[in-house]
Copies of this chain bind each other. A is one copy, B any other.
Amino acid sequence: MSTAAGSTRPDRAAETRQVIMAAAERLFAEHGLSAVSSRQIAEAAGQRNVTAVSYHFGSRPGLVRALMARHGEQVDVLRERHLRTAAGSTDVRDWVDCLVRPTSEHLAALGTPSWHARCAAQVMTDPTLRVLVIDEALTRPPLTRTLEGLHRCLAHLPSQVLAERGDMARQLIVHTCAERERALAEGTAPPHTSWERTAGSLTDALVGLFTAPVS
């Protein structure tokens, strides 16, 4: 029987993948995306083989994609829950909550220090990896449904303005969370800082951003 007792055998690779991803995420957040070599990742993951990354993920972009996909799935679960409570609402704030809260809750669940927010910010700014992740993110059903709900509340805005403000919201969420994560990890955060509070500030700001009059 291979019931409990930790893991059945074929999990060894999956475990190694997890270890590598955790190490990569930390190094990416600390030193920047392209400043970290595959060797360093493998070494930090306790793998004495320098080919570990390319074996398990094919390439560095493959690793990044796996990294983002894993968090994306977990955020999706949380977003589904928020979507159920926001269903049918015509209040912008409810839909902004669906945008912000899943991310902040996921980061809170990761504990401190976490690295994903900073890693995601790195990926978003990287000229080559940007596209790879953006269109993958935009095809996630819970996110597109959130945007649809938001658009229904803001139907009075020109579509181009809506698109612009959506982009701004994305930038704002990603980079604000990254900065907050760094402050939390470095211990330089102002008192009373928490992911809960961050989500609140972000939501307030985004509601203002989306409902601002168009000149």
Contacts and interface: CB of A to CB of B under 8 A. Distances in A.
Contacts of A165: 201, 205
Interface stretch (A14-22, A61-69, A170-178): A170-178
A31 B125 CA distance: 10
Interface string A156-177: 0000110111011001100110
Interface residues of A, number: 45
Does more than half of chain A's interface fall in helix, strand or loop, or is it mixed? Answer: helix
Q: How many copies of the chain does the oligomer comprise?
A: 2
Contact of A205 (B128, B160, B212): B212
Interface string A167-193: 110011001101100100000001000
B215 A200 contact: yes
Contact of A167 (B161, B176, B213): B176
B161 A168 contact: no
B34 A32 contact: yes
Nearest to A167: B179
A30 B200 CA distance: 35
Given A32-B126, A125-B175, A200-B215, 6 more contacts: A31-B128, A33-B34, A121-B125, A167-B179, A168-B172, A171-B179
